[in-house]
Amino acid sequence: MSQNPPVIEIRDLHKAYGALEVLKGVSLTAHRGDVISLIGSSGSGKSTLLRCANLLEDSQQGDVLFKGESVRWKGEGHHRRPADARQVLRIRTNLSMVFQQFNLWSHMTILQNVMEAPLTVMGRDRAEVEPKARAYLDKVGIGDKADAWPAQLSGGQQQRAAIARALCMEPEALLFDEPTSALDPELEQEVVKVIKDLAAEGRTMLLVTHDMRLAADVSDQVVFLHQGSLIEQGPPAQLFGAPRTERLRQFLSATTSDLATSGA
C-alpha cells in the first residue's frame, strides 16, 4: 500500500435531515487506485455518503479529508458549514461526480458539455481543453456524437457523455451515484463496460450501485450500509460469498440469487 495519504478519508461522519439521522458515524478510506462500491437498500445512506464526500451535503459531525487535508468547518451541528469556499471548490474539482440523471445542459452540444467545467471553473484554455474533451468522448465510445445535442442521444450515450465530462476535469477520483439505474438493461451494459474499463486503468472510484454483479466485478472493497450504519466491509468475494451478518444475507437474497456461487 502506498505511503501517500488516502485520496478520500471519512471519519465518524454523522448526517441528519432535521430529526432523521441518515448517517450514524460512518468511516471510509479510499487510497489511490481503490474502487469501492457502496451497496444497501434504498434509504441506507449510500448516496448521502457520496454527496458528503464531495461536499455537496453538509454533515453535522465527523471529518472529511482529501489527500490528507481536512475540510475546515465553522459552526456546530445543523449549523456546521465549510469554512473555506476556495478549499471546497478545489476539492470538488478533484472529485468528479457522475449522477443517476445525466444532468447534461440541453442547450449545449455534447462537446460543449464536456468542455464547460474545465473552461469556466478551472479557467483552462480552449486550445488545451478541446483535444482532451474529444479524446475522452472517444474513450467512452461516443466520439462521433461530439456535435450532437443531448436530446439526440440515447440514455446510455448521455450517461457516457456525463462520464466523459467528469473525466475531462482530470480528477483525483470519480464518484458514481447509481450511474446505471435510470437505464434499461441493454443501455446499462454500455455504461457498465466504461466503468469496468476505468476500474481496470487503476482509477480511484467510489461507486453507489444497485448492480451487485458490477460491484463484484470492479471493486477492491464493497461497503454494505443499512439504516445509516456501516454493517460490513471487505473484498467482494467475502461480502458476496460469505456474508457475516444476517442483514447482509437478507439483502443479497433479495437482490441476487447467483452471486454467492459465481466465484465473485
pLDDT score at 264: 43
DSSP 109: -
Task: Map grid coordinates 454483479 to a residue.
Answer: 213
- Per the CB < 8 A criterion, the answer to whether 8 and 36 are in contact is no
Distances (CA, A) of 198 to 7, 76, 98, 210, 223: 17, 38, 13, 19, 20
pLDDT score at 185: 87
pLDDT score at 186: 87
CA-angle at 159, arms to 228 and 148, nearest 5°: 155
pLDDT score at 227: 96
CA distance 201 to 27: 26
* Burial class for 162, CB neighbours closer than 10 Å (0-12, 13-18, 19+): buried
pLDDT score at 5: 94
Which regions of the chain are under pLDDT 70?
Answer: 1-2, 256-264
Residue 75 C-beta-side C-alpha neighbours within 13 Å: 11
Which fold does the domain 8-261 belong to in CATH?
Answer: Rossmann fold (3.40.50)
Sorted by where each begins, the domain ranges of the chain are: 8-261
pLDDT score at 144: 97
* Whether this model's pTM surpasses 0.85: yes
